[in-house]
Amino acid sequence: MEEYYLYIKSLHLIFVITWFAGLFYIPRLFIYHIEASFKPSPEKEILTTQFKLMTKRLWYIITWPSAILAVLFALLLLIINPSFLQLPWMHVKLGFVFLLILYHLKNHQIVNQLQKNQIKYSSKFMRIWNEASTLILFSVVFLVIVRNAINWVYGVLGIFTLALLLMLGIKLYKRIRSKNPNA
């Protein structure tokens, strides 16, 4: 099985990338769907019908299969090389993967709610929610690439700085959008 390790690792990375593509785009569709629900008829019905279809296709055709395949290939990699489970950085990475799975499942819940026209969150909340996957991605990539060389204090400060910059970016975008609603 070791002779297939690099092929399995490549497939794992491909499906991680497509999984994240879905996780990056699905909250954008949530935002569009939520904002469309406040439009006048018939625009509201036309847009929400279209966003429901786009969401359903993205979620069930791309995001869910990618998540499942990314996890399956990750498990295969750990079966081939179980010594990785003894490394401290791998424990931290698996913690982030657990957070990512929780994020994915919460998005699934939101998909189901919006399919039933149940709007429980604002578009502003969704803009902030959208950044959670970005923080997890940055954390995992830096952790995997830098591994043991990372100073945890700087790593934690870096993630908080990134979160702060993302929040400032959201506020700036909101300010720009309030001046120009078509932005």
The pLDDT tens digits of the residues spanning 17-62 come to: 999 999 999 999 999 999 999 999 999 999 999 999 999 999 999 9
- 93 has binding-site annotation: yes
| CA proximity to 105, closest of 62, 63, 48 | 63
The pLDDT tens digits of the residues spanning 132-161 come to: 898 889 888 888 887 765 565 677 677 778
| CA proximity to 30, closest of 152, 147, 121, 104 | 121
The pLDDT tens digits of the residues spanning 80-91 come to: 999 989 988 888
Which pLDDT value is given to residue 151?
Answer: 65
> Per-residue b/e over 79-95, b at no fewer than 16 CB within 10 Å?
eeeeeeeeeeebebbee
Report the alpha-carbon distance of residue 26 to residue 7 in Å, rounded.
29
Are 177 and 124 in contact by the 8 Å Cβ rule? The answer is: no
